[in-house]
């Protein structure tokens, strides 16, 4: 028994040795390929395949039932580009993204600066500021729907009592106010992401920068403008980029808030793609909207990199 056990242990050791030697003898490139292979396979399965499949569907006349399909070339794209609904959705997406990103960045930076100071209850304040990010999206949007309801909303009640408005407004049912209301909900829900990035960066800025500036007679505004803001540039570049991409593709807040309505007043490209595919049963047209969304986003991101792509921080 002991002999057998020793034999197995020795064999294991020998196998490990041989395997390590074989691995050591592999070329560096081969090792790299082996190490990234699982990740590449996962990305191909989860990203590349669906993307290619979506492009293929966008070139077909095919319903959500995946029955008989017919290759129609670029017909879906041509129909899309001729449709006023598409330009309306594109414009809505740009407005929604710009408004939402601006709001999250302004509020996120402001709360980051606030939390970077030392004050009583700082930890509690940090926890409270993170709450919107921790509340499930569906709960947050339902809460806002109730508050902004034109018939019973407590938000309307507060605004009327404080004489800011004369009568209740159906915020999410009005073609004029639905988009600002959605931007408000998105801003509230998503600003903690920016807050946390900004706060993390603020805590790495050497205090000596501010002390030197103070000795040289700089005002608070000058210190913010010439020290804080340049130091935040790198982190803001990333935060805005991510928020741009996520917000332009955002579906849940809009769908739960207005379903793209009233009419098409808040319909963005992702909502349009969903509606064409799952309500209109037209997978081909829905896929073409998704592909165009991808292309539009790629152009926006390219432009963003060209404009603000230098992330090198001042020394």
Partner 1 sequence: MGNDTSGRGIGAKQRAATRDTYRRRTVLKGATTGATIGALSVAGCLGGGNGGPVLRVINSAYQQQEDEYRAIFDEFEEEHDCEVEYTRSDFASAPSEAAQAQAGGNPYDLLMLASPGNNVFGVQEGLYQPINDVIEDMGAEDHWREEFLVQIDGDYYFAPNTGTVSTLIYREDLFNEYDAPMPPFDSWDEYHTAAETMTDEDENLYGSPVFLGSNHFHGILPLSLLHGRGGSIINTDDEVVYDSEETVEMLEFMRDLNEFSPQAAHGADIPEMRPPLYQGTYAMTWYSTNVIPYDIEQYNPDLTGDVQVAPIPAYDSSYEPVARLTGLGHGLGAETEHPELAKDLLREITSFEGVMRLMTAQPASHVPAIHGILEEDDLWETDVMQDYEEHYRDLVDIADEYGRVVAVEENEGHINPVTGQAVAETHVISSVQDVILEDEDPQDAAEHWADEIRDDYADQLND
Per-residue mark of binding to partner 1, 157-176 (x: CB under 8 A): ------------xx-xxxx-
Smallest distance, partner 1 to C-beta of residue 162, A:
20
Among 260, 268, 273, 293, binds partner 1 (CB under 8 A): 260
What is the SS3 string spanning 80-125?
A: HHHCHHHHHHHHHHHHHHHHHHHHHHHHHHHHHHHHCCCCCCHHHH
Helix (H) or strand (E) holding 61, with range, is strand 60-61
Q: Which of 92, 239, 241 is nearest to 175 (CA)?
A: 92
Q: How far apart are CA 160 and CA 168, in angstroms?
A: 7
Smallest distance, partner 1 to C-beta of residue 49, A:
15
Q: How far apart are CA 106 and CA 237, in angstroms?
A: 13
Site for partner 1 contains 281 (CB under 8 A) = yes
Smallest distance, partner 1 to C-beta of residue 73, A:
16
Axis-axis angle for helices 84-115, 178-202 (nearest 10): 40
Q: How far apart are CA 232 and CA 72, in angstroms?
A: 49
Smallest distance, partner 1 to C-beta of residue 171, A:
9
Smallest distance, partner 1 to C-beta of residue 151, A:
5
Do 313 and 230 contact (CB within 8 A), yes or no? yes
Of 14-22, 109-117, 190-198, 257-265: span binding partner 1 (CB under 8 A): 257-265
Of 19-27, 59-67, 90-98, 203-211: span binding partner 1 (CB under 8 A): 59-67
Among 265, 269, 291, 292, binds partner 1 (CB under 8 A): 265
Site for partner 1 contains 261 (CB under 8 A) = yes
For 132, 153, 176, the CA distances from 159, given in Å and listed in that order, are 22, 10, 17
Smallest distance, partner 1 to C-beta of residue 229, A:
40
Per-residue mark of binding to partner 1, 83-102 (x: CB under 8 A): --------------------
Per-residue mark of binding to partner 1, 109-138 (x: CB under 8 A): ------------------------------
For 45, 74, 169, 263, 273, the CA distances from 249, given in Å and listed in that order, are 21, 23, 28, 20, 11
Site for partner 1 contains 155 (CB under 8 A) = no
Could you identify the residue written with the tokens 């129609």?
72
Q: List residues binding partner 1 (CB under 8 A).
A: 63-68, 149-152, 169-170, 172-175, 178, 258-265, 275, 278-281
């Amino acid at each position: 028994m002991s002999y057998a056990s020793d034999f197995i242990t020795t064999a294991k050791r020998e196998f490990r040795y041989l395997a390590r030697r074989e691995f050591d003898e592999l070329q560096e490139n081969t090792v790299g390929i082996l190490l990234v292979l699982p990740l590449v396979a996962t990305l191909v399965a989860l990203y590349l395949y669906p993307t290619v499949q979506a492009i293929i569907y966008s070139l077909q006349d095919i319903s959500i039932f995946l029955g008989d399909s017919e290759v129609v070339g670029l017909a879906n794209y041509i129909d899309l580009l001729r449709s006023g609904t598409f330009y309306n959705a594109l414009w809505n997406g740009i407005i929604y993204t710009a408004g939402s990103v601006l709001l999250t960045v302004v509020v996120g930076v402001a709360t980051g600066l606030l939390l970077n100071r030392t004050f009583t209850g700082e930890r509690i304040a940090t926890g409270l500021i993170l709450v919107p990010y921790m509340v499930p999206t569906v709960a947050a949007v339902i809460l806002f729907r109730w508050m902004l309801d034109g018939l019973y909303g407590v938000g309307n009640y507060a605004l009327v009592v404080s004489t800011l408005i004369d009568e209740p407004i159906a915020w999410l049912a009005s073609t004029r106010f639905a988009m600002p209301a959605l931007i408000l909900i998105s801003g509230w829900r998503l600003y903690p992401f920016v807050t946390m990035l900004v706060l993390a960066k603020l805590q790495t800025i050497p205090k000596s920068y501010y002390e030197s500036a103070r000795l040289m007679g700089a005002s608070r505004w000058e210190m913010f403008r010439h020290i804080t803001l340049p130091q935040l540039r790198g982190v803001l570049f990333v935060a805005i980029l991510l928020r741009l991409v996520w917000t332009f593709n955002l579906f849940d807040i809009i769908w739960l808030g207005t379903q793209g309505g009233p009419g098409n007043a808040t319909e963005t490209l992702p909502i349009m793609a969903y509606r064409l595919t799952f309500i209109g049963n037209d997978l081909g047209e829905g896929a073409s909207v998704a592909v165009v969304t991808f292309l539009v986003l790629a152009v926006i991101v390219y432009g963003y990199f060209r404009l603000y792509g230098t992330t090198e921080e001042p020394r």
